[in-house]
């Protein structure tokens, strides 16, 4: 087994542990490259099936291609897609693009709050109806107790300190100074009422590993990652008002791998196109302590 085989096998192990131990399990799905790999791994773990819902937190400011791609994939793979949104904040225009709050507050409202309340069932969940081809209200209001998230340790400092199974308290807060032990292939699978556990199958993967795996497995990804002739491409996908493409002429997966290996992107952090990271003093720790992924 080479190192990609081992990374894959370990991620599959984590998926299967999560599936056995958490009755109310869901997976966050952001359409990006990591989420796409996550979905592929889930299908490998469960022999072509995805036996839990995928939750997409829709800020309403996602790049339109992302939503198109999301719906197409949900249809093709018959995914159980759940969409969550902070409709109140959108209605009252408490957003950065509307000019009423700063970037960090916008992130907190449209992502962290939306995520927390969608997981707990406080906010209405919308479910993709495969017959009608539209989102309909989901009658299920039960809280999810296990949430699979595709964060990687190489993305930024606080993620480099994560556990594979990482508990969140009643308010979705992360007690980063006192994380429970995690030994060998034994994870935190017991939890107190009203708390939940974040599960991170991609923690040991690097950005390069992700692209190498996409290449090896021939996984389709949204075309925003490639230069389509403008000399720019996205390296990380988010909301359009706060995500900017990087200068790059990589037109396909192989060229992205070359670019990453060549060190051309060394002077740019992966999330440098994500403005909220910079506003937060260069650290996501604060956002993540409060429940952000």
Partner 1 sequence: MKERMNIVVVGHVDHGKSTLIGRLLADTDSLPKGKLEQVKRTCELNAKPFEYAFLLDALVDEQTQGITIDTARIFFKTKKREYIIIDAPGHIEFLKNMISGAARAEAAILLIDANEGIAENSKRHAYMLSLLGIKQIVVAINKMDLVNYDENKFYQIKNEYLEFLKTIGINPIEFVPVSAFNGLNLIEHAPEMSWYKGKTILELIDSFEKEKEDEEKNFRMFVQGVYKFTEGGDDRRIIAGTVNSGTINVGDEVIFLPSGKKSTVKTIEIFGKESPLFAVAEQAIGLTLTTQIYVKAGDLMCRTDQQLPYTTNRFRANIFWMGKNNLNIRKKYKLKIGTNKVGLNIETIESVLDASTLERITNREEVHRHEVAQIIFKTDKNISFDLFNNIKTTGRFVIVDEYDIAGGGIIVEALEEKETITAPDYSEFEKELYNLVKKYFPHWEIKPIY
* DSSP element (H, E) containing 107: helix 103-107
Q: Minimum distance from CB of 76 to partner 1 (Å)?
A: 13
* Window 61-80: residues binding partner 1 (CB under 8 A): 78
Nearest to 44 by CA among 10, 73, 83, 69: 10
Strand partners, 57: 84
Cα–Cα distance list, 192 to 62, 157, 169 (Å): 34, 28, 9
Contacts of residue 289, Cβ cutoff 8 Å, sequence gap at least 6: 158, 173, 174, 176
Rounded distance between C-alpha atoms, residue 232 and residue 251, angstroms:
10
- Specify the residue, 123 or 292, whose C-beta has the smaller distance to partner 1: 292
Quick one: which segment of 86-94, 96-104, 138-146, 171-179 binds partner 1 (CB under 8 A)? 171-179
- Specify the residue, 50 or 135, whose C-beta has the smaller distance to partner 1: 50
Quick one: which segment of 57-65, 112-120, 188-196, 249-257 binds partner 1 (CB under 8 A)? 188-196
28 binds partner 1 (CB under 8 A): no
Rounded distance between C-alpha atoms, residue 256 and residue 103, angstroms:
29
What's phi and psi for 33, nearest 5 deg?
-65, -40
46 binds partner 1 (CB under 8 A): yes
Contact predicate 17/189, CB 8 Å? yes
Contact predicate 105/59, CB 8 Å? no
- When binding is defined by CB under 8 A, the residue of 120, 188, 241, 255 that contacts partner 1 is 188
Site map (CB under 8 A) of partner 1, residues 254-273, x = contact: ------------xxxx----
- When binding is defined by CB under 8 A, the residue of 23, 136, 176, 220 that contacts partner 1 is 176
- Using CB under 8 A, list all residues that contact partner 1: 1-9, 12-13, 16-17, 19-20, 43-49, 51, 78, 153-154, 156-158, 160-161, 163, 176-177, 179-186, 188, 190-192, 203-204, 206, 217, 266-269, 282-283, 285
């Amino acid at each position: 087994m080479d190192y990609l085989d081992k990374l894959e096998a370990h991620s599959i192990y984590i998926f299967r542990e999560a599936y056995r131990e958490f009755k109310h399990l869901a997976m966050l799905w952001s359409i990006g490259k990591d989420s796409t790999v996550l979905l592929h791994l889930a299908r490998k773990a469960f022999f072509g099936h995805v036996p839990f819902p995928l939750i997409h937190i829709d800020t309403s400011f996602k790049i339109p291609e992302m939503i198109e791609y999301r719906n197409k994939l949900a249809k093709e793979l018959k995914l159980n897609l759940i969409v969550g949104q902070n409709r109140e904040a959108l209605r009252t225009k408490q957003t950065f693009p509307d000019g009423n709050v700063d970037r960090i507050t916008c992130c907190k409202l449209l992502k962290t709050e939306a995520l927390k309340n969608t997981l707990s069932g406080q906010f209405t969940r919308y479910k993709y109806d495969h017959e009608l081809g539209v989102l309909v209200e989901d009658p299920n209001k039960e809280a999810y107790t296990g949430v699979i998230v595709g964060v990687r340790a190489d993305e930024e400092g606080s993620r480099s300190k994560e556990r594979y199974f990482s508990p969140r308290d009643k308010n979705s807060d992360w007690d980063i100074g006192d994380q429970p032990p995690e030994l060998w292939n034994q994870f935190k699978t017991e939890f107190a009422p009203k708390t939940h556990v974040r599960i991170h199958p991609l923690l040991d993967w690097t950005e390069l590993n992700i692209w190498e795996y996409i290449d090896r497995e021939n996984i389709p990804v949204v075309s925003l990652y490639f230069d389509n002739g403008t000399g720019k491409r996205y390296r990380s996908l988010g909301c359009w008002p706060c995500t900017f493409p990087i200068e790059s002429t990589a037109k396909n997966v192989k060229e992205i791998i070359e670019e990453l290996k060549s060190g051309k992107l060394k002077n740019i952090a992966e999330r440098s196109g994500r403005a909220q990271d910079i506003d937060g003093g260069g650290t996501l720790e604060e956002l993540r302590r409060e429940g952000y992924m």
